[in-house]
Structure 1
Amino acid sequence: MAALRDLSRDQAGGNDELDAVEQARRHLVQPWPYAGSVGEEARALIGEGDGIYITDSTGQRLIDGPAGMWCINIGHRREELARVMYDQAMQLCYNTPWYTMNAPSAELAERIASHAPGDLNHVFYTTGGSSAVETALRFMQFYNNVRGRPEKKLILSRGGAYHGSTYLSASLNGRPRDRDWMDGADELVVKMTSPDPFRRPKDMTSEAFSDFLVEEFSATVARVGAERIGAFVGEPVQASGGVIIPPDNYLQRIREICRANEILYVSDEVVTAFGRLGHVFASGQVFGLDPDMITFAKGVTSGYFPLGGVVISERLLQDLRRSNHPDALFGHGLTYTSHPIGCAVALKNLDILEDGVLAHARNVAPYFQAQLKTLEDLPLVGEVRGIGLMACVECVADRESKNPLQLDKNVGARIDAHCHELGLLVRPLINMCVMSPPLTISREQIDDMVSILREGISRTMDDLRKEGVWQG
């Protein structure tokens, strides 16, 4: 995205900005850096946010197309959230979760449980999505140890998945560039095909593709052995994989296989929860699932404070309480587990979501998807896909082969660079552009966003033609 482009001194808007750029180059290690620039990189400096907009260091106002990182769900500069942070800090800024508790965390747990599907009635808090997934997996290990099944620890994941940056959660990731130079717990993870209908074989129907995925899953369980598999972790929509929406009924069929083989189904809703698909949780309301655990983060506080968590099935906790190992210790927790400020912010954020934002998101989503779909008339665009208020524009060298590899690998970044100049921040993923704006976006603002994106793609097509990279 534009935030990944290097800033030169003459791009900064004043002394403070110049200082920040130089300070970053000298001292700040950015996330996801390349070895050739690690520790010497400054990225696009953002100074302000307001509603669906951010302002960069040049003073240019931009639509925040990715909503930060899928998370600024109620928009920037919501004074009520800022006041909650202040009020809670003045009352209680922190308490150790090891042997004390606070009221906001208990109230929030009840509120979250009321929205969760099935018997998911209990919440364990973390500091973000990676630690939420890590917690779910550690709980699975503990659960099987207590139940006398220490061999039942393998984890099923899929191509295209993104589940985090901690060691175990990152081991589940299914995007090659995430793991090219990084180690992982490969002995614990079994990966299967991405449920991407756009990339299915040319002569295969969507229904047949769903059958293939389910049969692959069933065959994997049979080959590896259900007695060795502890969990399946899957996003309802593969977000960072390019907004991959699985075929109809695929997830429900996978859930049934998991249930029949006592494989814990972990629905990773770090992106899709808290309004992105118009509901607090998408697993039940959108996909008809009742998982054993749901992970969440990002939108729970709309990005105003780091918070995440896992919602856990009542049945799993009852199994532990009924075991003959009552003294077994789940030795897992974080310094900031159940942070009172984070939980207070999440409560207020949930109030705002329930007081019209969720309904607005459901109402405006069809228009958002329809307007973005019009971009498919551009020859560089292979597919526009999405659900709720998340979407992906995938660019291809030609629509017949759907081959992205013949394109410049930075085509998404090229589009984003043009869009940045025109007033829109995009999240580029190699040959894709992902859009997930704040849920408060209006139809008129959607029109602006799509218009800018159209022009950014058109300018990129002109660039590629001039350079002889693409002849479309």
Structure 2
Amino acid sequence: MPNKQTTDMQQVWQQDRDHYIHPWTDFSTFKEEGSLVLADSDNVHVKDGEGREYLDGIGGLWCVNIGYAREEMAQAIADQIRQIPYYSCFGHHTTVPAAQLAAKLAELAPGNLNHVFYGCGGSVANDTAVRIIHFYFNQLGKKSKKKIISRIDGYHGSTYMAMSITGVKFDHIGFDIEEQLVSHISCPNPYRRPAGQSLEEFCNEKVQELEDKILELGPDNVAAFFAEPIMGAGGVIVPPEGYHKKTLEVCRKYGVLYVSDEVVTAFGRLGHMFASEAEFGIVPDIITCAKGLTSGYLPLGATILSDEIYDVISKPQADGALFTHGFTYSGHPVSCAAGVKNIEIMERENLCGHVKDMGQYFEDQVKTLIDLPIVGDVRGRKFMMCIENVANKETKELINPDAKVGNRIADHCQARGLIVRPLAHMNVLSPPLTLTKEHIDFLVATLRESIEATMEDLKAEGFI
């Protein structure tokens, strides 16, 4: 007879399966398999409803940077709820944490990105960027500058506009996107560059493609270029050296705003609070961020604007007119209090320094997996890594998609106490920033075992 805990968790599993529509659900298996119910956590580990423990190799979803179940974070959230749990920030009202966090973000952001608009996550931050960019050019009398350029395999969110900017074609299957407003250029993936082409030649080719697209659409029609410093959900693509600087120069040449989507890369994942300038040497016009802003403890996103943009949009466009953009939960005081505390913890514990040190060890150890026969590429930086699996390392031919190699590896990892994220033929790693050497050694050893077990499966079924 199952004990009470098992019975309760079985009920939760059933309720979830029957009523909860999950993001990115595979409905071909969900109704039979349901979900893994996670019920407890501590630092870098989570536990399921049966008490089994897993090292979380994906940080929830790129976001639990300070680790799970931090008592002082819980206290900061509880304290704010007791003081003032909510008040509208429309017009001329604010709350203490909303103002404090905005000032802190302005201090941390590069250049003169000094002005913060709050939303509930990364998708909304990018939607907000588009709406403000259009408003900005309207204010300047450049009402034809509306078109957005982004990249194939770039990921910017799943609201209608953000998914339209997203260039992961798989995510568009069956859904509509705005095709007139958004154009995509090629992914700057060095691993997939033509044989014999140097990295410099590849970089220049991709930069030229951006310029050609602006000229094709007409500089008077192009408003902005959206780019993640490192492409996340598209496969952790690190562009060739100099790519971001050169694409920024192209944007400046034609009066196109540069939006750096730091939803994943900000708040320590690469060892910096913001990666645009510190890691890639650019100061964009807008930075969007979320995820690590609160380490996932509460929903919060931010769109950070330069002085130049703010100076234009903050002038009334007509007598009595308002800046009519915002959400009920913009600047939510409890979420902002979590953001303030999150940054305080990161600075006090020097988590960015820890990532520069331990993240390099993590990166180096994950790259040892390249000796495995199906591992074609291991890429990324610090606590943001990807393993790409192939059928032939020489030709880079992919394994038959029916093999679901990324899922198989993830399943083998989960059975061994590790959670990694499958993305088609790839597996992504984005753990909490608090990993120790011992955690990393376990993670990499478990991955190796799981890839080897997957190879045995694939051989037995004739996939390799």
* TM above 0.5: yes
Provide the C-alpha distance between the structure 1 equivalents of 2:171 and 2:2, rounded to a whole number of angstroms. Answer: 33
Give 1:69 shift: 0.1
> In the alignment, which of 183, 207, 213 is matched to residue 214 of structure 1?
207
Give 1:468 shift: 0.7
Letter of the 1:274 partner, please give it: F
Q: 161-170 vs 350-359, which deviates more?
A: 350-359
Counterparts of 1:44-123 in structure 2, within 5 Å, are: 44-99=36-91, 100-123=93-116
TM norm structure 1: 0.95
Give 1:12 shift: 11
Give 1:58 shift: 2.8
**Judging changes above 3 Å, is the alpha-carbon distance between structure 1 residues 220 and 243 closer, same or farther for their aligned structure 2 residues?**
same
Counterpart of 1:273 in structure 2 is 266
| Uncovered stretches (5+) of structure 1, i.e. residues with no partner | 1-8
Provide the C-alpha distance between the structure 1 equivalents of 2:364 and 2:4, rounded to a whole number of angstroms. Answer: 37
TM norm structure 2: 0.96
| Cα deviation code 1:102-151 (max 9, x no counterpart) | 01111111111111111100100110000000000110111111111121
Provide the C-alpha distance between the structure 1 equivalents of 2:33 and 2:405, rounded to a whole number of angstroms. Answer: 21
| Cα deviation code 1:283-338 (max 9, x no counterpart) | 01111111000000000000000000111000111233568657553321011100
Give 1:403 shift: 1.5
Counterpart of 1:141 in structure 2 is 134
Q: Does 1:154 align with 2:147?
A: yes
Counterparts of 1:322-471 in structure 2, within 5 Å, are: 325=318, 328-355=321-348, 356-406=350-400, 408-470=402-464
Letter of the 1:305 partner, please give it: L
Provide the C-alpha distance between the structure 2 equivalents of 1:244 and 1:209, rounded to a whole number of angstroms. Answer: 14
Letter of the 1:25 partner, please give it: R
Secondary structure in 2 matching 1:14: helix
Give 1:38 shift: 7.2
Give 1:34 shift: 4.0
**Judging changes above 3 Å, is the alpha-carbon distance between structure 1 residues 336 and 41 closer, same or farther for their aligned structure 2 residues?**
farther
Structure 1 contact 12–57 (Cα < 8 Å) conserved: no
Counterpart of 2:243 in structure 1 is 250
Structure 2 contact 399–463 (Cα < 8 Å) conserved: no
Structure 2 contact 403–463 (Cα < 8 Å) conserved: no
Q: Does 1:126 align with 2:127?
A: no
**Judging changes above 3 Å, is the alpha-carbon distance between structure 1 residues 12 and 260 closer, same or farther for their aligned structure 2 residues?**
farther
Q: Which runs of 4+ in 1 moved over 2 A?
A: 9-13, 33-42, 319-330, 405-409
Q: Does 1:202 align with 2:195?
A: yes
Provide the C-alpha distance between the structure 1 equivalents of 2:166 and 2:14, rounded to a whole number of angstroms. Answer: 34
Q: Does 1:192 align with 2:182?
A: no
Letter of the 1:151 partner, please give it: S
Give 1:40 shift: 7.7
> In the alignment, which of 164, 189, 206 is matched to residue 157 of structure 2?
164
Letter of the 2:410 partner, please give it: D
- Alignment length (residue pairs): 462
**Judging changes above 3 Å, is the alpha-carbon distance between structure 1 residues 146 and 111 closer, same or farther for their aligned structure 2 residues?**
same
Q: Does 1:311 align with 2:312?
A: no
Provide the C-alpha distance between the structure 1 equivalents of 2:373 and 2:3, rounded to a whole number of angstroms. Answer: 33
> In the alignment, which of 34, 43, 51 is matched to residue 35 of structure 2?
43
Counterparts of 1:273-292 in structure 2, within 5 Å, are: 273-292=266-285
Secondary structure in 2 matching 1:256: helix
Provide the C-alpha distance between the structure 1 equivalents of 2:23 and 2:418, rounded to a whole number of angstroms. Answer: 22
Provide the C-alpha distance between the structure 2 equivalents of 1:409 and 1:216, rounded to a whole number of angstroms. Answer: 34
Letter of the 2:274 partner, please give it: F
Counterparts of 1:295-306 in structure 2, within 5 Å, are: 295-306=288-299
Provide the C-alpha distance between the structure 2 equivalents of 1:197 and 1:32, rounded to a whole number of angstroms. Answer: 27
**Judging changes above 3 Å, is the alpha-carbon distance between structure 1 residues 40 and 129 closer, same or farther for their aligned structure 2 residues?**
farther
Q: 53-62 vs 294-303, which deviates more?
A: 53-62
Instruction: Name the % identity.
Output: 43
Provide the C-alpha distance between the structure 1 equivalents of 2:244 and 2:53, rounded to a whole number of angstroms. Answer: 40
Q: 396-405 vs 30-39, which deviates more?
A: 30-39
Counterpart of 1:5 in structure 2 is none
Counterpart of 1:4 in structure 2 is none
Q: Does 1:175 align with 2:172?
A: no
**Judging changes above 3 Å, is the alpha-carbon distance between structure 1 residues 79 and 321 closer, same or farther for their aligned structure 2 residues?**
closer
Provide the C-alpha distance between the structure 2 equivalents of 1:141 and 1:21, rounded to a whole number of angstroms. Answer: 45
Give 1:386 shift: 1.2
